[in-house]
Amino acid sequence: MVPLLLLAAAELICFGPFSSRLGFYHDDWINLERLSDAGGLFAGVRYYAHLVLERPVNSLQYPLLFALGGLHPLPYQLFYLAAETLEGWLLFILLKRLTDSREFSLLAAAVILIFPTHAVTHCWLSSSAMVVTVDLTLASLLLHLRWLEGRRVKDLAASQLLYLVGLLNYEIAAFLPLMLAGASIGRGRPVKESLAKLWPYAASLGAALLWQRAVVSLFLNRNPRLVGFSLRHALKAYEAGFECAANRAVDVCWRMAPVGAGLGGGAILAAAAFAAAAGLLLSWGKETKFSARAALGAAAGAFIGACAPFAASADYTPMVFGVMSRTNGVIAIGAGLLWAIGLNALARRSRGSAGLVFGAVVFCMTLANWGHGLQWARSWRLQTDILKALTARAEAIDGPATILLADAPGVLDPGGALVFGAHWDIGPALRLSTGRKDLSADAAGPGTQFLADAVEPRPGIRYSYSGLYLYSYRDDVLYRLTGPNRRLRI
């Protein structure tokens, strides 16, 4: 029970302080508008069912979350905290089974939980599918181990059911079962035998791919996502994944910890106290039986499996900032394990030195996570400010009309916290704020082209001058656009 309480405390300390100050971001808004328009849980499920055929569990997840929180951010944030805490608990139990060490498993689960390159998954509704999928997959792995020991059919069935539900929610953890094979190989078992034990996962993955790539893609023509293999892209994906686990993690701390430290002396002292407590726990711990090779094998399997979806995606690589940063949660498992293995190796030589290093790691990661939280909280405050101003200005506009937002940041750096940047976020946000379906909106950045017959915020996106307005957030002025060089102040 104590390790589970410690992991829950680590999650709350690193991510709880900003829960009440975070909101909705990027494509959250279009999902919220869809769910709001649907008019209820079952109507939302029916609406989503035809939108996400390749990920059918999404049609349940988003309506269920909306039923929990509606248009109020806090219930979602509390859900993320709970889901991430559950991930830490499942990791601890799983790693304890794989490595035979309670102390190492606690250390690794804690590092994974607070690892800074996936901090964004703790605050973004559109990351929830990744978090839920990881929880389901970890629970599946535990049941699979129980099936291997007892050969009870119900354990096998439950294991594969959880895996399939997670896989059909989001495929980011599809190859995480390689973690079990890696640990088995680390214990000296033959590679062929270790991989053969994963045959149920191979069968379930094949069934999911048959659904996605044959039924949905070929027969229903509904899945545009590219899947293909290129050695060059695969190497690029694994290189980026390794950087997310190594130097980019250090870079995130270097860039984001000063932002967190900007909260003031009290925050720095609190982070130092948390880090000191973590360092002392490692320093005072006792060396226990530990299968280092199994841990290293599990880390290798987790890393290979985490990057495999990127390697097969044809056009995506792992990122630490930006939209794709929300997929880094699985990479953090392999990364955190590798960091924990290094700390454990140091502890075998000198527990005092390991405690100091671990304390420093926790201090930097905590401040980095607080820096992330602060930037996303600032983004939410800025979005709220913009919507308040636009809602007031919209009263003077007859619809149908389109408002272009100008002179407002689309991203807050460092950290890449997203504000309003396209029609799929500010448009739904404005309609939800005003209750007017006759309004649309987009963001007009520095590259916006004012052409003779239309405005082009981005290549391929054009708005005619009929019913077109420009709102300058910096000057708090609304203009009616009637031509490339003609503006009427409203």
d(CA 427, CA 390): 11
Structure tokens belonging to residue 457: 């915020």
C-alpha–C-alpha distance, residues 118 and 462, integer Å: 35
Query: What number of other Cβ atoms are within 10 A of residue 74's Cβ?
Result: 13
Which neighbouring-strand residues pair with 481? 468, 487
Number of H helices, E strands in the chain: 18, 10
Q: Distance between CA atoms of 35 and 67, rounded to whole angstroms?
A: 9
CA separation for the pair 402, 424 (Å, rounded): 13
By DSSP bridging, strand 401-406 and strand 468-472 are parallel
What single string gives the DSSP state of each residue in 293-312? HHHHHHHHHHHHHHHHHHHT
DSSP-derived pairing of the beta strands 461-464 and 454-458 = antiparallel
The encoded tokens of residue 9 equal 């405390």
Rounded to 10 degrees, the C-alpha dihedral 108/138/315/415 comes to -50
Contact 430, 439 (CB under 8 A): yes
Residue 220 confidence (pLDDT) = 64
Q: What is the distance between the alpha carbons of residues 305 and 308, in angstroms, rounded to a whole number?
A: 5
- β-strand 411-412 against 417-418: which pairing, if any? antiparallel
- Compute and round to an integer the Cα radius of gyration of the chain: 24
Q: pLDDT digit of tens for each residue in the chain (490 aa)?
A: 899 999 999 999 999 999 999 999 998 999 999 999 998 899 989 888 888 888 899 889 999 999 999 999 999 999 999 999 999 999 999 999 999 999 999 999 999 999 998 867 777 888 888 999 999 999 999 999 999 999 999 999 999 999 999 999 998 999 999 999 999 999 999 999 999 999 999 999 999 988 887 787 766 666 655 566 688 888 999 999 999 999 999 999 999 999 999 999 999 999 999 999 999 999 987 766 678 899 999 999 999 999 999 888 777 888 887 767 777 889 999 999 999 999 999 998 899 999 999 999 999 999 999 999 999 999 999 999 999 999 999 998 988 999 999 999 999 999 989 999 999 999 999 999 999 999 999 999 888 999 999 999 999 899 999 999 999 999 999 999 998 888 878 8
Pair 46, 101: CB distance under 8 Å: no
Tokens representing 411? 């991203």
The answer to whether the beta carbons of residues 222 and 53 sit under 8 Å apart is: yes
Using the 8-state DSSP alphabet, how is residue 128 labeled? H
454 has which bridge partners? 464
Question: Which tokens is 353 given?
Answer: 């030195």
